[in-house]
């Protein structure tokens, strides 16, 4: 039986672990900005814009977060996005995430955003870009937190729709080109194969964008193959099902293809039955370039440090492995080499400091 002293010591160990994780300089490479919209802010924006939500209060909305799978999550996610109307709404949502990211020790973030979720509701693309970009630039000014924007196509819509979105966005590249440097592919994976978007991805590559795609989350390992061979992406978002194909996994390890893994999201959406079954630490120990990420943190019960914590407490992730994951995230980012080096040096300095003081 645990004594009060044991419990106090356990609590202080937990606090010390959280401090260690927060102080680790790291990047987040897989977060959907619309998935950071917390219920409280959703209600504030709904009221501000006169949008009625199908929930009476925050508690009722939180109770609806009991998803069965990706499909039931997406239904709620798109309903939540209805409250985003003005530039200020996009700013407020992005700023709330950035404050949290800064607290979690994130020094660089590459956020995904889904223009089609907004343009099909009649919101101008300029409004979406301006609100998000203003917040990103303010975070850079205030904390030195750098960022990139990954314009992501919804894969359950057609390739033609993706082309329309790209063509609407391109005139904004001059104004936002310092931030908008990459293209992604997200939403319902099963039945929406990577090859459906071969032409638009080829066009984006031709235009000089960096490419990523969700693959091997609910879809099989074959989707990962095709994201690499047909879409020519540089990073795989999720990719956890690559483990089912040994040849593919070898290729990912040998070619150091980064995977942006989101453990809490995978558990919440049933990709793995429990954290104890999650492959992320196995993949890391086999030499895969894995990074940890929060995906849609408002919906999946945790931000980046919460994802690290779950891996430490339930999968035995060591502190050295936490440092490796943090280094991986910076190396796998789309920052130029000199900026990566500067962040990696900051991490080494932080480690030395912690070693001399806390550990």
Q: Which two tokens stand for residue 266?
A: 């995978």
Determine contact, residues 191/149, Cβ cutoff 8 Å: no
Kindly tell me which of 295 and 321 has the beta carbon lying closer to Zn ion: 295
- Shortest Å distance, C-beta 73 to Zn ion: 10
Please count the residues of this chain forming the interface with Zn ion, following the rule CB under 5 A.
1
Q: Tell me the C-alpha distance between 203 and 217, whole Å.
A: 25
What is the residue whose two structure tokens read 């919460």?
306
- Shortest Å distance, C-beta 290 to Zn ion: 15
What DSSP assignment string belongs to 8-46? Answer: HHHHHHHHHHHHHHHHS-EEEEEEEGGGG--HHHHHHHH
Kindly tell me which of 279 and 351 has the beta carbon lying closer to Zn ion: 279
Return the active site residues: 217
Measure CA 300 to chain center.
Answer: 12
Task: Verify binding: residue 189, Zn ion, rule CB under 5 A.
Answer: no
Q: What share of the chain is helix, strand, coil (3-state, %, to 5)?
A: 60, 15, 25
* Contact positions with Zn ion (CB under 5 A) in 99-128: none
Q: Tell me the C-alpha distance between 77 and 87, whole Å.
A: 19
Using Cβ positions, the residue closest to Zn ion within the complex turns out to be 295
- Shortest Å distance, C-beta 156 to Zn ion: 14
* Contact positions with Zn ion (CB under 5 A) in 50-89: none
- Shortest Å distance, C-beta 214 to Zn ion: 5
Kindly tell me which of 36 and 347 has the beta carbon lying closer to Zn ion: 36
- Shortest Å distance, C-beta 210 to Zn ion: 16
Closest CA to 28 of 20, 36, 17: 36
* Contact positions with Zn ion (CB under 5 A) in 266-305: 295
Query: 191: left (phi > 0), else alpha (psi -120 to 50), else beta?
Result: left
Kindly tell me which of 38 and 295 has the beta carbon lying closer to Zn ion: 295
Kindly tell me which of 110 and 295 has the beta carbon lying closer to Zn ion: 295
Residue ranges in contact with Zn ion by CB under 5 A: 295
């Amino acid at each position: 039986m645990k004594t009060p002293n044991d419990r106090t010591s356990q609590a202080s160990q937990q606090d010390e672990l959280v401090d260690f994780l927060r102080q680790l300089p790291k990047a987040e490479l897989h977060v959907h900005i619309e998935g950071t919209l917390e219920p409280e802010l959703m209600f504030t924006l709904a009221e501000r814009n006169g949008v009625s939500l199908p929930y009476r209060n925050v508690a009722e909305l939180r109770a609806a977060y009991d998803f069965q799978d990706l499909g039931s999550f997406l239904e709620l996610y798109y309903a939540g996005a209805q409250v985003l109307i003005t530039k200020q709404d996009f700013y407020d949502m992005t700023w709330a995430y950035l404050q949290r990211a800064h607290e979690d020790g994130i020094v660089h973030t590459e956020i995904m955003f889904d223009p089609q979720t907004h343009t099909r509701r009649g919101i101008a693309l300029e409004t979406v870009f301006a609100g998000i970009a203003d917040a990103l630039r303010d975070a850079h000014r205030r904390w030195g937190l750098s960022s990139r924007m990954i314009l992501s196509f919804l894969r359950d819509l057609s390739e033609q729709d993706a082309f329309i979105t790209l063509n609407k966005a391109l005139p904004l590249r001059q104004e936002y080109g310092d931030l908008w440097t990459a293209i992604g592919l997200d939403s319902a994976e099963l039945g929406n194969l990577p090859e459906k978007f071969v032409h638009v991805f080829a066009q984006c590559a031709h235009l000089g964008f960096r490419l990523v795609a969700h693959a091997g989350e609910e879809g099989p390992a074959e989707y990962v193959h095709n994201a690499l061979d047909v879409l020519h992406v540089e990073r795989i978002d999720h990719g956890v099902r690559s483990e089912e194909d040994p040849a593919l996994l070898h290729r990912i390890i040998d070619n150091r293809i980064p995977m942006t893994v989101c453990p809490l999201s995978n558990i919440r959406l049933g990709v793995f039955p429990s954290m104890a079954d999650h492959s992320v630490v196995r993949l890391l120990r086999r030499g895969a370039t894995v990074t940890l990420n929060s995906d849609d943190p408002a919906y999946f019960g945790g931000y980046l440090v919460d994802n690290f914590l779950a891996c430490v407490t339930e999968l035995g992730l060591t502190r050295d492995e936490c440092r490796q994951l943090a280094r991986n995230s910076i190396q796998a980012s789309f920052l130029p080499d000199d900026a990566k080096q500067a962040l990696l040096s900051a991490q080494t300095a932080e480690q030395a400091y912690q070693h001399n003081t806390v550990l």
